[in-house]
Amino acid sequence: MDIFKKQLLIQAGIAFGVLVVLVFAIQFIAPQLDKAAAKILVQKSDLDFLSRATNLLPQLKSDLEKSQPLTDELNRVLPPRAQLASFDKELADLAKKAKIGVNFSLVGETPATDEAPGFTQFLITSEAGYGVLVKFLKEIEQSRFFVKINSLNMTRKSSGDKYNIVANAQVFYQ
């Protein structure tokens, strides 16, 4: 019986030793498994995003093809920079048509980029009746040039029905 006990103790010792080694191995491997699981979740999230983006690609390409004629049309609507040379003449013609005197001066320029059109900033000064000035400003906005009036200062003259006007504006180009 002594041999039986000895073999039983040896086998129990071996089993206990294997159990202790397994517990230490699990304690050592568990943090690495947690890191690997977190990395897998991040990669899964990235793959989901890429999958959704890939699924949207044909729709985006279709939208781009649909918008291309509109983009081309917008590019044709804005005059090239060279045509701005005639802007001051057109402004003078509009003032002559409205029967008012206008002073026109360039202030600065921002060149066109791929993302935005360029524009030239200018000042208009004039003196006329209120109705004539309003009509003149509407004519400017309705001209073939795209004009944005940033600020407008009208002051009534002490004598009569006339106003002094100072307008800060921009005219856009390609």
Examine the fold and report which residue of 42, 77, 112 is the final residue of a domain before the chain moves on.
77
Q: What is the domain extent for residue 96? A: 82-173
DSSP 8-state assignment for residue 157: -
Do 87 and 57 have their domain in common? no
Report d(CA 96, CA 148) in Å as an integer: 21
How many distinct structural domains can be found in the chain? Answer: 2
3-state secondary structure of 67: helix
Examine the fold and report which residue of 28, 62, 77 is the final residue of a domain before the chain moves on.
77
Do 140 and 163 have their domain in common? yes
Please provide the DSSP assignment of 13-49 as one string: HHHHHHHHHHHHHHHHHHHHHHHHHHHHHHHHHHHHH
pLDDT in tens, 135-169: 888 888 888 888 888 999 988 887 778 888 999 99
Do 167 and 104 have their domain in common? yes
Instruction: Spell out the per-residue pLDDT of the chain, length 174, in tens.
Output: 688 888 888 999 999 999 999 999 888 888 898 899 999 999 999 999 988 888 888 888 888 888 877 776 766 677 888 888 888 888 888 888 888 888 888 888 888 887 778 888 999 998 888 888 888 888 888 888 888 889 999 888 877 788 889 999 998 887
Report d(CA 76, CA 72) in Å as an integer: 6
